[in-house]
Amino acid sequence: MTIRVFLQRAGKSSIRRIAVLLVCVLALGGCDRGTPLALVKAVAAGVPALDPFFDENSGLGKDAQVASRPVRGSLQQGDTPGLYGGSKQPTVCDVEKLKQFLTDPRNDQKAQAWARALTISTDRIPDYLDRLTPVLLRHDTLVKNHDYKKGKAVPYDSLLQAGIAILIDAQGRPAVKCSCGNPLRPFAGDTIRISVRFEDGNQEWKGYDRSSVVAVRPAPRPLEKITLVDVEDTDRGISRPVGTSGAKDATFDTREKRAVPNLAGATFGQARRSLTDKGLAAGYDSEGLPPDDARVTATDPPAGTELGFGQYVMLSVAGDSGSPDGSTTAPPPTTTAPPQSSTSEPPTPGPGTGSGPGSGSPPPSSAPPSSAPPSSGPPPGSAPPPSSGSPSPPPSGSPQTTSSPPAVTTAPPETTGAPPPPETTSAPATSTAPVTSEPPTSEPAAEEPTESATV
């Protein structure tokens, strides 16, 4: 009996050790695989939410049938021309009805949960809603959605199908899903590493492409107008003042051509703003949004090409790096720092103008190998002769000349391994400022449309 108990105890101890080892192995394996996929719940247009804040049958909002458009960069800022769509229909989103519901004392618990999800207080709900603008999605869009469960707003990542009606704030960020009133926040994950689940009546829709979804980052400046494309007539553009629902819309022709500006040498932020002001969208090929101060090296199509409203101009940037989360606050290493002085690099001969334009890197040394000074070095306190290709004195025993030395016809002594003396006081001036073509920094006002809308 004693032996049996001992074996049983030993077996349990062994099992515990094995379990601990398995946990460690799995943890290490997870690290090797990198960031895990974010689980995202698909939300199809016209499909009622299971846990809405607002009764979807009361006509608060109405989705539309819109084919998702391809995107050129999964992170787009909220002022991107053509990012959102509009409609002549005035019932896309009834903001007044939502305001009445959330300010009704009988719905105070829902109002508190709704306000907390958007990080505002309940007394600010009316003013907050007055500054939102109804639009229709033109892309399958990642957001942080919220269900209403047991008196609380429960967040979850979701993918909203193109055609869903939403309210956006003054920086173009999704704020409310119109049909159910559920609050929305920006998607904060990696748009590349997602796993989309279709469930609860949300079947995979026609044209769905996981590699062509978009997440919206705030526009760098508050907007006065949102430029939309009519989802029923893509030749018709809509200029909608922020905080209005369509009554003050003006229209314009999206087919009007806009020339791609010359953006080579501009920063990504400057190039993006220049394109936005012209009614063109900035695209990129990197996995993350390039930093604002990354230098643009080329555009596709090239400068001078004429495009319609909202069409993409692909921007190539130096290094072609980007931040997966869309952060643009950390600048890349500067390219204008002067080169460090070196004790092993001889000075560049001539006036230093033969290296061509650059972006801050020192010109390559062109001193011939035979210009290395002998081991005795220059006399103390002496300076190299002007316009001389080598600071070396003549070999010992030869009369010293003060004029520019002729070409060396004999090999210098090779018997010592002493490095050349430091030349920190005689380094020629080098050009460190990047030779770039900066676009105008002024931001022209958006074109005022001349045709009034039909509400």
Q: What is the pLDDT of residue 211?
A: 87
Peptide bond preceding 368: is omega within 30 degrees of 0, i.e. cis? Answer: no
Q: What is the pLDDT of residue 273?
A: 96
Using pLDDT thresholds of 50, 70 and 90, give the confidence band for residue 289.
confident
Q: What pLDDT digit, counting tens, does each position of 371-419 carry?
A: 444 444 444 444 444 443 444 444 444 444 444 444 444 444 444 444 4
Structure tokens at 355: 């290296």
Using pLDDT thresholds of 50, 70 and 90, give the confidence band for residue 14.
low
SS (H, E, C) 263-291: CCCCEHHHHHHHHHHHCCEEECCCCCECC
Residue whose structure tokens are 């007394």: 123
Question: What is the average per-residue pLDDT within 96-117?
Answer: 96
Residue 240, strand partner residues? 226
Q: What pLDDT digit, counting tens, does each position of 42-84 carry?
A: 999 999 999 999 988 888 899 999 999 989 999 999 999 999 9
Q: What is the CA radius of gyration of the chain?
A: 33
Phi then psi for residue 407, to 5 deg, are -60, 140
DSSP reduced 3-state for 67: coil
Using pLDDT thresholds of 50, 70 and 90, give the confidence band for residue 157.
very high
Using pLDDT thresholds of 50, 70 and 90, give the confidence band for residue 264.
very high
Give me the DSSP letters along 222-261.
--SEEEEEESS-TTEEEEEETT--STT-EEEETTS-EEPP
Using pLDDT thresholds of 50, 70 and 90, give the confidence band for residue 320.
low
**Contact predicate 213/71, CB 8 Å:** yes
Pairing of strands 194-197, 296-300: unpaired
Task: Give residues with Cβ within 8 angstroms of 452, minimum separation 6.
Answer: 249, 250, 251
Handedness of CA 101, 106, 112, 113 (dihedral sign): negative
Question: What is the average per-residue pLDDT within 133-142?
Answer: 97
Pairing of strands 312-317, 296-300: antiparallel
